[in-house]
Amino acid sequence: MTSFFQTLNVGDRVVLMADSSYHGSLYHSRFHGRAGAVGGKQGECYKIQFKDGNKEKMLIVHPLHLRKM
């Protein structure tokens, strides 16, 4: 329950770890285990920025699916 209400700051490093009990704002499975940085907040969710190969990507993910590094 604590990860559902966790707060993150811009620049925090996080790892994408899916929680199967909540399907809202769930990312595609190919990004599971990726590390990235918090780029901002959108509603209840966070914008996670990371590099996939040579491309900069951004996902909008619920904090329940994020683990602080």
- Total number of domains in the chain: 1
The string of pLDDT tens digits covering residues 7-64 is: 899 999 999 999 888 888 888 999 999 999 999 999 999 999 999 999 999 999 999 9
In a domain, 35, yes or no: yes
In a domain, 50, yes or no: yes
- Here the tokens at position 38 are 């918090």
- Here the tokens at position 16 are 């994408």
Candidates 34, 39, 18, 41; CA nearest to 69 is: 34
Whole-model pTM: value is: 0.89
In a domain, 4, yes or no: no
Give the chain's count of helices (H) and strands (E).
0, 5
In a domain, 1, yes or no: no
The domain in which residue 55 lies consists of 13-68
In a domain, 5, yes or no: no
C-alpha angle with apex 42: 41 to 45, nearest 5 degrees?
80
CATH number of residue 64's parent domain: 2.30.30.70
